[in-house]
Amino acid sequence: MTKVRFHCSTTLDGYMAAPNQTLEQPFGDGIQGPLTDWMLKQRFIRENFGLGEVGEDGPSNDVIREAQSNIGATIMGRNMFGPVRGEWPTEAWNGWWGPNPPYHTPVVVLTHYAREPLVMEGGTTFYFVTDGVESALTQARAAAAEDQDILVAGGANTINQFLAAGHIDEFELHVVPFLRGEGERVLVGANLKLEPLRVVDGGEVTHLKYRVLK
């Protein structure tokens, strides 16, 4: 049975990005290091991003490896796909991740602007869906094998839409020890009862995993 999941790195006050997101600092001011440094040290991420196989092999590596396993299709918001806003000016922007993105699945990109599918190396194909979250979810389910999960990759606004609509079955927060106070916050606008699945103390990051009760 397919689960719809997300996992994300967030400050303790729920921020996944700060103001002033640009091409050079896609997470905005003063937050990229706290949110991503711990993750880029993990062996699984280093292997998957081609950063070399040296990396940490502790509890956070196990968490991130599990979170990225058994994914049949990925969904993301357009702002996670890239900094381009409005009509696609050219089709030159192919995502942040180079020719071989770390998804290796069909990736449904939520956008208001149509674009032809974009086939990348390594099994990643970006499909641009313009008719909303329900349609994106239907297309992701159709693309994934029956026993594989759908990952809502981000950003915060996309996760919040899926959560508030009751589409999320499970999620895991990677909580980093910062309060940011402003930016894009996750877990906004949902009224849901949860079941704690586990807590993993990763030292500089705390992993909190929940099931959504329906």
Site residues (vs a copy of itself, CB under 8 A): 12-14, 30, 163-164, 173, 175, 177-182, 187-196, 198-199, 201, 203-204, 206, 208, 210
Q: What is the smallest separation between the CB atom of 174 and a copy of itself, expressed in angstroms?
A: 12
Which CB, 30 or 102, lies closer to a copy of itself? 30
CB of 212 to a copy of itself, least distance (A): 9
Q: Give the DSSP H or E segment for 205.
A: none
| Shortest Å, Cβ 48 to a copy of itself | 26
118/156 with CB nearer a copy of itself: 156
**Please, what is the minimum distance in Å from the beta carbon of residue 187 to a copy of itself?**
4
Closest to 177 measured CA to CA, from 138, 196, 203, 197: 203
Q: How far apart are CA 5 and CA 209, in angstroms?
A: 11
Q: Is 33 helix (H, G, I), strand (E, B) or coil?
A: helix
Minimum CB distance to a copy of itself smaller for 86 or for 181: 181
| Beta strands 170-176; 206-212: pairing state | antiparallel
- Residues pairing with 125 in the sheet: 106, 119
C-alpha to C-alpha distance for 160 and 144, rounded to whole angstroms: 22
Residue placing its CB nearer to a copy of itself in the complex, 108 or 212: 212
